[in-house]
């Protein structure tokens, strides 16, 4: 039982065989899939695309690459896009200083507005950060992102960033990058992440894990990410899958959607945890 917490099923790479992709994911044990929006203009199409698949959810947001396209009415547009039962989060949003497709001031403005909407709507934030650790921490602290929680997705940052995000109440998600031969430093960071804050993802169609690096990535391959993380954490694949799926369900409110109530106490493996970040007074 696995959850691919971050992928992009609406990308053209999947236009010819989406049904087969979803079927292969189910066969691999992927029970939940979260397909992430990168533009508000694609939200309607994403919702139409996932309608037949009840286990697939989505988010609303603007990737930092496209921040320059955000209008002045972004908060209103975000709130409107989030008004759908399959919407479970805000993003992806954040900083990307590797490509700088949008100017840094524009990326910051758009990131701040996403955080404010996430806090106001009580939805988790999906954060993209690349070569911008200090700026990410500064903006998230100033906008009180800990009030909404969320996930730093496709984590490739420093241990200092990971510890800071954990202190803020965020989860850390690892992609196929953690399986790469040259990713020893990233695996050392992964070893320090508590199981109860760990998520797995594919970020497909990108970043296919070893030994599938020459192929298009897809949600079924998230098992390879989980397999490596299980080795890093010294637990079985079954336990890693169980824990990360429980984390996914809790973060994105799947218990509430499936059972109609808030879960304040939950089990992970042989441990019992109390949820102090969402729902508790």
CA 203 – CA 174 distance, rounded (Å): 9
* Averaged pLDDT, 6-25: 97
What pLDDT, on a 0 to 100 scale, did the predictor assign at position 79?
95
Closest CA to 220 of 21, 1, 18: 21
What pLDDT, on a 0 to 100 scale, did the predictor assign at position 209?
97
List, for residues 168-225, the tens digit of each pLDDT value.
Answer: 999 999 999 999 999 999 999 999 999 999 999 999 999 999 989 889 999 999 999 9
CA 31 – CA 260 distance, rounded (Å): 19
Q: Decide if 249 contacts 278 (C-beta within 8 A).
A: no
* Averaged pLDDT, 62-73: 95
User: Using alpha carbons only, how large is the chain's radius of gyration in Å?
Assistant: 17
What pLDDT, on a 0 to 100 scale, did the predictor assign at position 247?
97
List, for residues 232-250, the tens digit of each pLDDT value.
Answer: 999 999 999 999 999 999 9
List, for residues 112-135, the tens digit of each pLDDT value.
Answer: 999 999 999 999 999 999 999 999
| Residue 84 pLDDT level (bands cut at 50, 70, 90) | very high
DSSP tag of 255: H
Q: CA-CA-CA-CA torsion for 164, 219, 57, 265, nearest 10 degrees?
A: -50
- 50 CB-near residues (< 8 Å, 6+ apart): 9, 35, 56, 57, 58, 86
* Averaged pLDDT, 271-276: 62
Fold (topology level) of 2-274: TIM Barrel (3.20.20)
- Inform me whether the pLDDT recorded for 263 exceeds 60: no
- Inform me whether the pLDDT recorded for 15 exceeds 70: yes
Closest CA to 89 of 170, 166, 155: 170
* Averaged pLDDT, 102-117: 97
**Share of residues in the chain with pLDDT > 70 (%):** 91
Mean pLDDT taken over the chain: 93
Q: Sketch the domain layout of the chain as residue ranges.
A: 2-274
């Amino acid at each position: 039982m696995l959850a691919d917490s971050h992928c992009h099923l609406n990308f053209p790479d999947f236009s010819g065989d989406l049904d087969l992709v979803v079927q292969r994911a189910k066969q691999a044990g992927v029970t939940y899939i979260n397909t992430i929006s990168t533009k508000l203009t694609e939200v309607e199409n994403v919702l139409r695309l996932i309608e037949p698949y009840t286990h697939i959810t989505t988010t609303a947001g603007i990737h930092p690459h496209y921040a320059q396209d955000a209008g002045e009415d972004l908060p209103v547009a975000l709130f409107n896009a989030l008004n759908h039962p399959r919407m479970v989060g805000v993003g992806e949003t954040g900083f990307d200083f590797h490509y700088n497709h949008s100017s840094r001031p524009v990326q910051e403005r758009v990131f701040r507005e996403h955080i404010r909407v996430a806090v106001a709507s009580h939805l988790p934030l999906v954060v993209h950060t690349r070569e911008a650790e200090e700026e990410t921490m500064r903006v998230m602290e100033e906008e009180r992102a800990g009030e909404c929680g969320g996930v730093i997705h496709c984590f490739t940052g420093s241990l200092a960033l990971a510890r800071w995000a954990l202190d803020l109440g965020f989860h850390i998600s690892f992609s196929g990058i953690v399986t790469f031969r040259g990713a020893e430093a990233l695996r050392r960071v992964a070893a320090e992440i508590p199981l109860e804050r760990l998520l797995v993802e594919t970020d497909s169609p990108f970043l296919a894990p070893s030994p599938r690096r020459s192929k298009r990535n897809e949600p079924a391959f998230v098992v390879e990410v989980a397999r490596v993380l299980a080795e890093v954490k010294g637990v079985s694949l079954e336990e890693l899958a169980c824990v990360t799926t429980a984390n996914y369900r809790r973060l994105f409110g799947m218990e509430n959607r499936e059972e109609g109530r808030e879960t304040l106490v939950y089990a992970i493996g042989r441990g019992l945890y109390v949820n102090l970040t969402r729902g508790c007074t």
